[in-house]
Amino acid sequence: MMKDIFNSRKIINIHNSYLDLLKIIFLILLIIGLSLSFFYSPADYLQGETVRIMYVHVPSSWLALMIFSTMSVCSLISLIFKFRIFTIFTKSLAPIGFTFSLISIFTGSLWGQPTWGTFWTWDARLTSMMLLVFLYIFYIMSWVFIKNIFTAEKISSLISIFGLANIPLIKYSVIWWNTLHQPASIKFLEKSTIHQSMLTPLILMFFAFVCFSLMVFLIRFKVESFKLRVLREKK
């Protein structure tokens, strides 16, 4: 049943049918989100214009965490039930999450410098986020350097499964330890402390990044599926 639902040909058909639509939605959300970020959203009384980095930094951070969490779940399913399509999911997602984690680190350093007086400090949030970057690297490199596909699949799956423990560290580091990083302004179970004029462009930018991620994922999934088919034919 699950193999029928998550069929690689069905995913590729989605790629062929909806990629252009995703491009249009992405461009619309990006244009509106950037316009609101620059012209509607006010400057911060303390951080000034540098607060606008938030509209790239926060969505990138969210997606870096969400993608790695998704990779961990897919790896667990692949390892237990031997559904190789979930390995293809994970392998397709890894470079996307890695890119967003780098953007998060880079924009966070630019955003924090005026307030902290430095581009980097071994703060709990920053350190755990840097660990996430290395987890992405370890996952990607395991496929590069391990030639046996079955061994690479197992090692990469274990990296993403055990790496999941880092996600709550990133999320709750500002609560558990005394950090320079500010606590979350957007809360799902409580009232958010961020003003609507900032929240609206932030949400739009997040969904624009989601559309972009889906576009890249569909393209990469098609490529990775083809690679797997070639390897099978060789064997």
Terminal alpha carbon distance of the chain: 27
For 167-191, how does the pLDDT look when each residue is reduced to its tens digit (9 = 90+)?
Answer: 988 887 666 666 655 656 665 555 6
Beta bridge partners of 48: 44
- Name the nearest CA neighbour of 161 among 79, 42, 48, 57: 79
| Domain chopping of the chain, boundaries | 55-234
Q: What's the pLDDT score for residue 190?
A: 59
> Rounded to an integer, what distance in angstroms lies between the CA atom of residue 15 and that of residue 17?
6
Q: In degrees rounded to 5, what are phi and psi of residue 169?
A: -65, -45
pTM, rounded to two decimals: 0.86
| pLDDT tens-place string over residues 48-92 | 777 888 899 999 999 999 999 999 999 999 999 888 889 999 999
Q: What is the DSSP letter of 36?
A: I
